Amino acid sequence: MVAQLRQCIRLNLDCADICLAAGSLGTRRTGSNEQALVAALQACAIACGLCAEECEKHASTHEHCRICAEHCHRCEQACSEAVQSIR
């Protein structure tokens, strides 16, 4: 079972790391670095999209994959909207 989910697990972990980095950049209250923030949000949207696509492959057999895919799509959308609000 784990072998079948190896790529899914990898993308989940990568997505979590990128989301954490984007969140850290976005919540700093001193100065600004819009170019880096936009790049981080774009990377986050891409990572979330890839993660959601992979999780959807297992959503019918693994409830946690369905939930993960849903939330990754939400995060992908939120990051895209945040980028638009900055520009």
pTM of the model: 0.91
Please give the structure tokens belonging to residue 42. Answer: 């774009």
CATH 3.30.70 fits 2-86, yes or no: no
Tell me: the pLDDT tens digits for 12-62? Answer: 999 999 999 999 999 997 888 899 999 999 999 999 999 999 999 999 999
Return the pLDDT at 4: 80
SS3 assignment for 2-36: HHHHHHHHHHHHHHHHHHHHHHHHHHCCCCCCHHH
